[in-house]
Amino acid sequence: DVVMSQTPLSLSVTPGQPASISCKSSQSLMQSDGKTYLYWYLQKPGQPPQLLIYEVSNRFSGVPDRFSGSGSGTDFTLKISRVEAEDVGVYYCMHSVPMWTFGQGTTVEIK
Amino acid sequence: QAQLVQSGAEVKKPGASVKVSCKASGYTFSSHAIHWVRQAPGQSLEWMGWSNAGNGNTEYSQKFQGRVTITRDTSASTAYMELSGLRFEDTAVYYCVRGGGDPWGQGTLVTVSS
């Protein structure tokens, strides 16, 4: 089974500053159809996760353009260009083939 | 827009079963898969299985094989997840999620307590 590992596990960021979260998989996530099914979610306190990024780098509908995803193979990154107070919560990466596998989560707080 | 609404919180004794419902609206129910994910207190997210809402085919995580059953009622646009042989460590919030990763239901807290 694929194992997803996120670093760091927690992050304290000054508003307006950038933030970056890494997600590494135990094997390549590239599928035979040429796609890579790597997703990023944000879970705000007391809420279900909300989809930010799908297939590595595609922002989901309504997601601010300060969020961006990149990577390939086994190494992926979520970047927030300028962190805002509303971005606090736990960020998860997820792979969806053949089963859904989540990273441990990265807690982002505001300094 | 697409929405998933789950049934309310449950308290169960060890060894009992729980059945959580997930009612879909705003999209064609039978055209999308429904996945079930759980989250124990303070923990990450754990995938349990999924159902093809069109033909009812299912696939389960090996961890829950034999204890979980996912079904659906297309006439009611509702999916169900039943977990049997409940243990204290099954205490968690259970979510349904449409295939593709959005939307998620609001979550159902299942507490296993003697």
Task: Give the pairing of strands B10-12 and B108-112.
Answer: parallel
Strand ranges inside chain B, DSSP E: 3-6, 10-12, 18-25, 33-39, 46-52, 58-60, 68-73, 78-83, 92-98, 108-112
Tokens 């303070």 label which residue? B42
Q: Are A103 and A95 in contact (CB under 8 A)?
A: no
Distance from CA of B22 to the nearest CA of A (A): 14
For A60-96, the pLDDT digits (tens) are 999 999 999 999 999 999 999 999 999 999 999 999 9
Q: Is B104's CB within 8 Å of A48's CB?
A: yes
Phi, psi of B89, deg, nearest 5: -75, 0
Q: What is the DSSP string of A62-73?
A: T--TTEEEEEET
A101: part of which helix (H) or strand (E)?
A: strand A101-102
Residue B9 contacts A, CB cutoff 8 Å? no
Stronger pLDDT, A97 or B98, i.e. the higher one: B98
What is the percentage of chain B residues whose pLDDT exceeds 70? 100
pLDDT at A35 over 90: yes
For A45, name the nearest residue in chain B, comparing CA atoms only. B42
Pairing mode of beta strands A10-13, A106-110: parallel
**Local confidence band at B41 (pLDDT 50, 70, 90 cut-offs):** very high
Mean residue pLDDT of chain B comes to 97
pLDDT at A14 over 90: yes
Using DSSP's 3-state secondary structure scheme, residue B90 falls into helix
Cα Dmax for chain B: 40
Whole-angstrom Cα distance, residue B47 to residue B64?
10
- Centre a 10 Å sphere on the Cβ of residue A11 and count the other Cβ atoms it contains: 16
State whether A104 and B106 contact (CB < 8 Å).
Answer: no
pLDDT in the model for residue B70: 97
pLDDT surpasses 90 at A1: no
Report the phi/psi class of residue B85: left, alpha or beta, with left for phi > 0 and alpha for psi in -120 to 50: left
Distance CA B113, CA B88 (A): 6
How many angstroms separate the CA of residue A81 from the nearest CA in chain B? 24
Instruction: Reply yes or no on whether the pLDDT at A98 is more than 90.
Output: no
